[in-house]
Amino acid sequence: MADKAPKDGASAKKDEPGTSAQDPPPGSGLSRKERQQVREGVRHRPAVVYEIIRVQGEIELRRPSSALWWSGVAAGISIGFSFLTDAVLAAHLPASEWSPLIAKLGYAVGFLIVILGHQQLFTENVLTAVLPVMARKQVHWLLKMLRLWGIVLAANIAGCLIFASALAYLPVVPSNVTPALADIVTKVMSNTPWEMFAKGIGAGWLIAALVWILSSTEHVEFIVITLLTYLIALFGFTHIVAGSVEAIYGVATGIISLETAVFRFFLPTLAGNVFGGTILFSVLSYAQVREEIYADTSES
């Protein structure tokens, strides 16, 4: 009986609320408040981040079609402010080598509105919708993913059409900004279809990385969104939704033809974004946590 007392006491201490494997040992000299700060300072391990995004994805996959549609339309309109802000900054900055570096910061504006406003953006859903399918490995989850993608992409393009048409046909843009809008369209459309695809991979990867980072951090959303979407513009990567505003504006104003917009930009960029966000980022993210997930399942 005397031998059991310390063991039972140790067990009770182990099960004491508020303690975990991440807690400093009792002899570390830290107060209870400081131990809590240590627990809060430990970053989520990748398996936890994966699980957060997977659960978010399942919630999105269960949303009604009407909710996805209207949220997607709002996102398509909001993302247009990336195109407009970029052009306004470019029009007002002095002509110099560093001016484009500043103007490209405007590209982040639309993404900030969309993501902080919790609107449905197709490239965000590439990662969040794929992880539940990879985890469940069932056909009806694949169909749910394709349904989500189809609704959100169509809604995003509808929103882009509304915004681009307003720019082209309504007196909402000062005359000195119009050349900057046309210049952005011309530069994007100077890419070949293969370049559109390759640069689309980069954009798809960065947006998927953005989703992953936001799921594991707090209170830095503004900085993370601004930085990663700024990199898309800085590197000249192509984004299917933001770029669609530019392409539709180009068609509406006669800068490019509809055929060019569809076959030179839309299809290659869509393929690149999906490849970068799904086949590369999603598969690699799943691969790095797969053993941990199955280990946790077997232990439970």
Digit-coded pLDDT (tens) for 58-70 = 999 999 999 999 9
Domain coordinates in residue numbering, the chain: 46-294
What is the pLDDT of the chain when averaged over all its residues?
Answer: 86
pLDDT in tens, 209-228: 999 999 888 889 999 999 99
Q: Confidence band (pLDDT; 50, 70, 90) for 35?
A: low
Per-residue confidence (pLDDT) for residue 23, from 0 to 100: 56
Split at pLDDT 50, 70, 90, the class of 16 is very low
Q: Give the max Cα distance, the chain.
A: 91
pTM for the complete prediction? 0.82
Pick the CATH number of 46-294 from 3.40.50.720, 1.20.1080.10, 2.30.40.10, 3.30.1300.10: 1.20.1080.10
pLDDT band at 29 (very low <50, low <70, confident <90, very high): low
Higher pLDDT, 293 or 273: 273
pLDDT digits (tens, 9 = 90+) for 94-143: 989 999 999 999 999 999 999 999 999 999 888 888 888 888 888 999 99
